[in-house]
Amino acid sequence: MDIHFVCHDCGKKHHPRSLLWRCPCGGLLDVDQFTISFPFDEIKKRPATMWRYREALPFVSDSTVWEALTLGEGYTPIVPLDSKSPNILLKVEYMMPTLSFKDRGVAVLVAKAKALGVTKVIADSSGNAGTSLSAYASRAGMKCDIYVPESTSPKKVLQISAHGATVHRIPGNREATAHAVIEAIESNQGFYASHVYNPFFYQGTKTYAFEIFEQLNGEMPDVLVFPVGNGSLLLGAYYGFQELLHGGMIVKIPRFIAVQAEGCAPIAQAFRTGKKTAEPVVNTGTAAEGIAIAAPARHRQILDAIYATGGFVITAPKEKMEPARRELASKGFYVEPTTAATYAGFLEYLAQAHNSTGNLPGFEPDAKVIIPLCGAGIKAN
Ligand SMILES: *Cc1c(COP(=O)(O)O)cnc(C)c1O
Ligand SMILES: [Zn+2]
């Protein structure tokens, strides 16, 4: 099985060994379809990591490249919010080797880069993608350069340097950091291991869907809440659910509710007016640094996925984030501000659906909802 990339715009196929980060036409790359399977009798006997679904991941069946790199990522617990809310389920994605869901995507991406002979990876990040990449790159024996906005949590910066990566702190906003890394890539300083552009990342995040299917014994949730900056969890999960659907394991994909931060919400702005593409916005500031993406490159794909599931986009109000963080902590979950924003967004959705005249896709009071807790509180200030 040889995996190819396919351009979202012109349809041209590229071999990953080209090390392209986007099509020469400017289009975004996706992984072209390949044959997958879910041998659940075997899967059930395997360790509780995302690699139990390896027949659905883009590796030849006898590939062992990932075995040297895995830190045991995936198969995170699903826990009720509290005993009064048995159908509001939290998938505790911060229980990951580097304390965020980014490990799903990075583990696959670094294994593929290693197999291609890459010796140095570069990425830009608001924090967690960088901490994850620096850990796995170091384990793989690769050099690593991480570009972060100057405002990134000092704890995340420390975590990145602890793994031996070089940190470039870029003045200005997240977009300035994105520009700086592209300059480095264009001058051939290394392989762009981007969680936004590299399609292998989404092959890792799709395991989020497989786990939900397996952990709930196929009793699918009605609603899935996602934080959305660049959409790397939402899109990966969407691809994963599509694969379960095509494999006949589920009959429909749950409704996706995307949460953006008030102050930086291009997807929400597009959704409000029914648009299929999002215009860049000006980031007017938010505590939710992990979803403050003013111009998400995969905006069209994110909106497609939301519309296709009958979903909705909500913005988490600024003043509700800190109370949401305290509320989660009171129930035993210590999360970073971006994750508090996800929960605040969910609460806001409930409030608006309750008050609306029926133009919000509502859900039954006993609907089963899954909210990911993507990042650990200990990483933030
Ligand atoms: C990366 C990240 C997000 C947002 O992911 P996107 O791919 O940008 O949508 C949300 N929460 C946490 C904790 C993250 O690390
Ligand atoms: Zn193209």
**Residue-wise pLDDT tens digits, 115-129:** 999 999 999 987 899
214: pLDDT strictly greater than 60: yes
Shortest-distance atom of ligand 1 to CA 227: 10
Q: Return d(Cα 277, Cα 266) in angstroms, integer.
A: 9
28 C-alpha to ligand 2 centroid (Å)? 7
Q: Return d(Cα 343, Cα 139) in angstroms, integer.
A: 33
Give the model confidence (pLDDT) of 236-252 as tens digits.
999 999 999 999 999 99
163 C-alpha to ligand 1 centroid (Å)? 21
Asked whether the beta carbons of 258 and 311 are under 8 A apart, the reply is yes
Whole-number average pLDDT of the chain: 94
100 C-beta closer than 6 A to ligand 1: yes
Q: Return d(Cα 3, Cα 37) in angstroms, integer.
A: 15
Q: With cut-offs at 50, 70 and 90, classify the pLDDT of residue 174.
A: confident
Shortest-distance atom of ligand 1 to CA 230: 8
Asked whether the beta carbons of 134 and 231 are under 8 A apart, the reply is no
Neighbour count for residue 139 (Cβ, 10 Å): 17
| Segment (H or E) for 226 | strand 223-227
338 C-beta closer than 6 A to ligand 1: yes
15 C-alpha to ligand 2 centroid (Å)? 13
Shortest-distance atom of ligand 1 to CA 195: 7
Which of the pair, 375 or 174, is modelled with greater confidence? 375
Q: Tell me, what's the pLDDT at 300?
A: 98
375 C-beta closer than 6 A to ligand 1: yes
255 token code pair: 């409704």
Give the list of residues 6+ apart from residue 42 with CB closer than 8 angstroms, or none. none
358: pLDDT strictly greater than 60: no
Q: Tell me, what's the pLDDT at 1?
A: 67
Share of the chain above pLDDT 90, in %: 85
Nearest to 247 by CA among 5, 33, 50, 78: 33
Which residue has the CA at smallest separation from atom 7 of ligand 1?
232
Give the list of residues 6+ apart from residue 257 with CB closer than 8 angstroms, or none. 223, 224, 225, 226, 311, 312, 313, 314, 345, 346, 349
Question: Given ligand 1 and candidates 98, 101, 177, which is best to mutate, with the most ligand atoms within 8 Å of its CB?
Answer: 101
Question: Given ligand 1 and candidates 73, 100, 109, which is best to mutate, with the most ligand atoms within 8 Å of its CB?
Answer: 100
In the block, residue with structure tokens 């409704």? 255
381: pLDDT strictly greater than 60: yes
Shortest-distance atom of ligand 1 to CA 126: 1
Give domain limits for the chain: 78-99+201-379
162 C-alpha to ligand 2 centroid (Å)? 38
Across-strand partners of 89? Answer: 80, 370
Shortest-distance atom of ligand 1 to CA 291: 4
205 C-beta closer than 6 A to ligand 1: no
362: pLDDT strictly greater than 80: no
3-class state of residue 299 by DSSP: helix
**Distances, alpha carbon 175 to alpha carbons 27, 41, 297, in Å:** 19, 46, 11
Which residue has the CA at smallest separation from atom 13 of ligand 1?
375
> Pseudo-torsion of CA 319, 262, 326, 333, nearest 10°?
180
Give the model confidence (pLDDT) of 36-59 as tens digits.
999 999 999 999 999 999 999 999
What is the pTM (predicted TM-score) of this model?
0.96
**Residue 9: alpha-carbon gap to chain centroid:** 22
Q: Tell me, what's the pLDDT at 224?
A: 97
Q: With cut-offs at 50, 70 and 90, classify the pLDDT of residue 353.
A: confident
91: pLDDT strictly greater than 60: yes
The CATH architecture annotation of domain 78-99+201-379 reads 3-Layer(aba) Sandwich (3.40)
Q: With cut-offs at 50, 70 and 90, classify the pLDDT of residue 203.
A: very high
Which residue has the CA at smallest separation from atom 1 of ligand 1?
290
357 C-alpha to ligand 1 centroid (Å)? 32
Q: Tell me, what's the pLDDT at 306?
A: 98
Give the model confidence (pLDDT) of 64-82 as tens digits.
899 999 999 999 999 999 9
289 C-alpha to ligand 1 centroid (Å)? 9
